[in-house]
Chain A
Amino acid sequence: MSTSYLIKNAAILGGEPTDLLLQDGTIQQIAPGLAADDAVEVIDATGLVALPGLVDLHTHLREPGREDAETVDSGTQAAALGGFTAVFAMANTEPVADTAGVVEQVWRLGREAGHCDVYPIGAVTVGLQGERLAELGAMADSAARVRVFSDDGKCVHDPVLMRRALEYVKAFDGVVAQHAQEPRLTEGAQMNEGELSGRLGLAGWPAVAEEAIIARDVLLAEHVGSRLHVCHLSTAGSVEIVRWAKAKGVDVTAEACPHHLLLTDELAATYDPIYKVNPPLRSAADVEAVRAGLADGTIDIVATDHAPHPHEDKDCEWAAAAFGMLGLETALSIVQQTMVDPGLLDWAGVAERMSYAPARIGRVADHGRPIEVGAPANVVLYDPGATRTVDPSESASLSRNTPYRGMELPGRVVATFLRGKATVLDGKLA
């Protein structure tokens, strides 16, 4: 099997077509008209955009515990097919990733699977219970070298505990990724609170429940001089708060999910739980604000919040269904449709939001590097001119809960390279 690739006529970040030679795990040459020798496999990338390997700061791989929904192996296959070379695996597994043992297990499973690098996220509190800190230092010192900590799925709502977590992770340059959801304001909540929730009789999930926590947390982060990352920001008010905090110099970063860039709460009127997600789909005005925030850099990154669920957890009444939707294999297409095609972001912007910045926030050195000679050969070739109709049965994920079923989306990942090795070729797992 070939370990060297000569990529012909790829447009790096959408620029002038050129050739790339990937050899020995790094990018060896970049120049037009590179000659092929017999030892390299040539890939015609005419019409394709070359992007740095994407990095997802927010993935649920479900292993250990819910291997019926996803495994590290299946989830990382989906990631590779989506153009990702690194994913951060959320801590809400069973058992919870709140010890060095569990994070090392996930890290090892990722290495064995080999489809993309897996960086475990450690839980902030023991068992995600929000009562006392997990052994953050032990996880940081483990083989998994955890730098991102999150109780995602649950909010670290106790202000004292959140303050302590923000302070404590400074010792190893960690970051707390907050799932901003005030629990009392969202008891039993099912969908975005607005006229529609009232009409549908689904308990409302007010924007303020997210915004109040973000506002508190940026003030805490400023007070203790810590890094804060805001997960899946979904409302116009949240964008405003983060914009204000950044202007004040608070060390805060924020992420938006593809579904919050495209879908709105109107979809809840179908009562189809495929559209049930946490935080909920919001109004069209919120979607506009999140897009604008992502465009102007208020929102630093796109993260998928890829949340696989088995069929029976979505094939039921809305209130009984699980929160979450798949995202890895469609993320880049959604970003193209909502940000690139309307002119809100160019491909360099996409590289920043989906590769450089998430790697920076997660403190990963080998990913999120510009495509230049000498960099690790983490590259994705993407055809923005292609279109495809989403067929859930084609997903590499073990789950089928994509909200984009039957939708025609632009773009297609043609090839993904992880340290010079093809994980995806011709749009298929290599």
Chain B
Amino acid sequence: MALDRWIALIILMICLAYGYAAFFTMDATLPPFMQRNPVWPSTFPKILSVSGGLVALSIVLGLEKHTGVGKEPDIEYTRLGDYKIGQALFLLGLMVAYALCLRPVGFLGSTMFFLIAGSVVLGERRFHIIIPVAALASGGIWYLVQEVLGIFLRPWPFFLGV
């Protein structure tokens, strides 16, 4: 089974779970005064789950015939190994690490680390360029956001106060 049909199957499952939640779990807790409304909070989800499920099912079963010539995909997912999948996964990991570190480590430290590590992963080795650029960018953005725009961003690690 091709990837697009697997995805449709997963979406079908999501629709079923969503539909279960909409049909069986939401209405019982509805306060009486809201029950007099023509549209309940669960009305739209019910419609969506049924129609979404039907469309997903039609893709899973391959009802729609592909009339168009299949255009060359940008990336052939069956040969992911031929691409720089390692770099991509590493960058995704880096983004997760950034999300987890942003608060405790502070904006300046985590941003500099993210930008430097990101460049290094992609094969950049000119450290005398990377480090100043990363420092300048994180400092500049921090100044813009915190000082000019007044949106709080913790600059330093948690143990330095602020």
Bound pair: A and B? Answer: no
Which positions in B face A, CB cutoff 8 Å? none
Which positions in A face B, CB cutoff 8 Å? none
